[in-house]
């Protein structure tokens, strides 16, 4: 009984610490949740929360105060957006390191489902690195799956570990299932938000592969100096990857000499690439390590209806 009481007290303390950094994001055509990224008012939320509204938004604080917000930028491939709230000295929450997020880990969601402000639900990380297709053709990759209750209005709110660190940003649920929700990882959210704040958008170079992160065996880890890589699952015809000779089952190790350990690394490095041509270090079964050069082109994003 004492153990349960201590656990309950810890959860209560965690909610009290985290809630002030969680906000409502409202406009004439909908609502959702957001999270203060910086003390000077940059709020991270989902793109689908704000994209159908005007650039004039309302940010509602945990104490009920309402502030004017302005859309800074959004990114379709990750369904993320940044809003700037008027004012300053806002509370923030730390982001979790990617290696600390594990399947089975206890997590808590805080948000505004159905306008029920500051609602809290508890669950676990059910899986990592999920890929989810959306009706408008966008493929969300590297997602966290959770059974913490997520409902309309939770979108854009934090998924927290028991240390009070943000492991992900709650994004969507499967409408035909119960207890299956998804969150954009905090790692992805951090670099996307940084580019949105700096540039207002995320420019990507298009490669043309579907991929997933895999662990390397002990021998490959020793030989290549990294324990993970990205495995090519599909190569689209006529794309830069196809023209560069990439094949299904190739293991992508690096882009422009920077290690690729996850799909998030792949997306980030393609977004940061400044030249048309990128150098790809990869492993091909039976042939060892090789280098390929892909002449990429700007990625054209689908436009939401």
The catalytic site residues sit at 48, 79, 155
Contacts from 267-273 at CB under 8 Å and sequence distance 24+?
A: 267/77, 267/78, 267/141, 267/142, 267/188, 267/204, 268/188, 268/191, 270/204, 270/205, 270/206, 270/207, 270/296, 270/299, 271/191, 271/195, 271/202, 271/203, 271/204, 271/205, 273/205
Whether 97 contacts 116, CB under 8 Å: no
Distance CA 250, CA 287 (A): 10
Which two tokens mark 221?
A: 């880890």
Q: Angle at the Cα of 304 (from 299 to 305), degrees rounded to 5?
A: 145
> Which residues fall within 8 angstroms of residue 187, CB to CB, at 6 or more apart?
95, 98, 262, 264
From residue 282, how far is each of 205, 221, 290 by CA, in Å?
18, 13, 6
């Amino acid at each position: 009984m004492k153990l349960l009481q201590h656990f309950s007290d810890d959860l209560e303390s965690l909610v009290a610490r985290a809630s002030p950094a969680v906000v409502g994001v409202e406009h004439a055509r909908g609502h959702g949740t957001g999270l203060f990224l910086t003390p000077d008012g940059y709020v991270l939320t989902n793109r689908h929360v704000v994209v159908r509204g005007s650039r004039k938004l309302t940010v509602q604080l945990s104490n009920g105060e309402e502030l004017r917000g302005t859309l800074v930028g959004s990114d379709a491939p990750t369904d993320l957006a940044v809003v700037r709230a008027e004012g300053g000295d806002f509370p923030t929450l730390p982001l979790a390191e990617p290696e600390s997020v594990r399947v089975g880990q206890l997590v808590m969601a805080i948000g505004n489902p159905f306008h029920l402000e500051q609602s809290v639900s508890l669950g676990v990380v059910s899986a990592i690195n999920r890929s989810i297709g959306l009706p408008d053709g966008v493929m969300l990759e590297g997602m966290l799956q959770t059974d913490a209750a997520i409902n309309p209005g939770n979108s854009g709110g934090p998924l927290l570990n028991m240390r009070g660190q943000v492991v992900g940003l709650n994004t969507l649920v499967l409408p035909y299932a119960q207890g299956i929700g998804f969150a954009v990882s905090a790692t992805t959210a951090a670099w996307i938000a940084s580019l949105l704040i700096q540039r207002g958008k995320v420019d990507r170079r298009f490669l043309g592969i579907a991929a997933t992160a895999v662990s390397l065996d002990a021998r490959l880890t020793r030989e290549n100096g990294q324990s993970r890589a990205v495995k090519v699952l599909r190569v689209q015809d006529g794309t830069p990857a196809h023209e560069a000779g990439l094949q299904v089952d190739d293991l992508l190790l690096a882009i422009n000499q920077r290690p690729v350990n996850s799909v998030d690394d792949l997306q980030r490095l393609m977004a940061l690439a400044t030249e048309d041509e990128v150098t790809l270090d990869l492993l091909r079964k039976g042939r060892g390590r090789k280098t390929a050069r892909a002449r990429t082109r700007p990625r054209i994003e689908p436009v939401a209806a």
